[in-house]
Amino acid sequence: MMRVVFVAGVLLLSACSNPDQPTTPAAAPVAAASATATPVVPNAPVQPATMARYDGYGDMRFGMDEAAFATAWGGELNGAPQPGSSCFYKTPRWVKHPVDFAFMFEDGRFVRYDVGTARETAPGGGKVGMDEAEIRALYGERVEAQPHKYVAGAGYLRVAAPQGESALVFETDAQGKVTRWRAGVPPQVDYVEGCG
C-alpha cells in the first residue's frame, strides 16, 4: 500500500511540472547575499546632514550662557576672553585652524558661529565654494547683497532666517565665490572683523 502511495505521489508531481519551462534555480544562500548587502540596523537614529541651524548649532542655541553651552556641547572647547574684552571665540578641540570653525560669545552668551570650510553646510544648503547665483537660487528674495568692507569686487550675501531674529552672512571673493559664512543674531552676525 505504501508503495502505491509513493508511486502515485511521484506521478502527480511529474504531471504538474511543465517540461517546456525551465526549472528556476535555487535561491542564493542568505549568507552570501548578506555578505555584500548593507546591514540594516533596526531603530538606528538618522544622522542629520548638518548640525548648522538658524537658531544655533546642534543642541546649542543662540542666547545660551557659557555654562549651558558647555553642557549642551559636552566636549572640550578651547578659548577664553582676553582681559577687558567681552567678545571672544571658542573652538572645539578637533579644530586645527580657528578660521575653519568657531563659536562666538559676547557678554557671556553664545551669539554666532563662523565657518570657513566646505565640510559644513549652512541652514538652507549654502556652502563654501558656491557662487552668488547658487546662493540666490537657494535663498531667493531673502538675499541682500552688500559690498565687502575691504576687498574690491567681493561682497556679503545676508540672508534673514525664515523665522526669528537670526541671519546668515555669506562672504564672497571678487569672483563671487563663497569663501566663508556665519550664522548668528544681530548685531554680532554683522560684525565684519569678528570680535576685532
What are the chain's domains? Answer: 52-190 (2.60.460)
Share of the chain above pLDDT 70, in %: 74
User: Alpha-carbon distance 46 to 33, whole Å?
Assistant: 25
Handedness of CA 111, 115, 119, 122 (dihedral sign): positive
Place of cell 548668528: 184
Question: Is the predicted pLDDT of residue 39 greater than 80, yes or no?
Answer: no
DSSP 141: G
For the CA atoms of 108, 78, 123, 154, the dihedral, rounded to the nearest 10 degrees, stands at 100
173: phi then psi, degrees, rounded to nearest 5: -90, -175
Phi, psi of 193 (to 5 degrees): -95, 15
Distance (Å, rounded) from C-alpha 94 to C-alpha 117? 14
Residues 119-130: tens digit of each pLDDT:
999 999 999 999
Q: Could you give the angle at the alpha carbon of 175 between the alpha carbons of 171 and 177, nearest 5°? A: 45
CA dist 103 and 184 (Å) reads: 10
Mean pLDDT of 9-14: 42
| For residue 41, pLDDT beyond 50 | no
Q: Could you tell me which residue, 34 or 94, shows the higher pLDDT?
A: 94
Amino acid letter for position 48:
P
Q: Distance between CA atoms of 9 and 15, rounded to whole angstroms?
A: 10
**Whether pLDDT at 17 is above 70:** no
Determine the Cα–Cα distance for residues 183 and 114; give it in Å rounded to an integer: 7
| 172 burial type by CB count under 10 A (0-12 exposed, 13-18 middle, 19+ buried) | buried
10 Å Cβ neighbour count for 132? Answer: 17
Output the pTM of the full model. Answer: 0.73
The model's pLDDT over 101-146, given as tens digits with 9 standing for 90+, comes to: 999 999 999 999 999 999 999 999 999 999 999 999 999 999 999 9
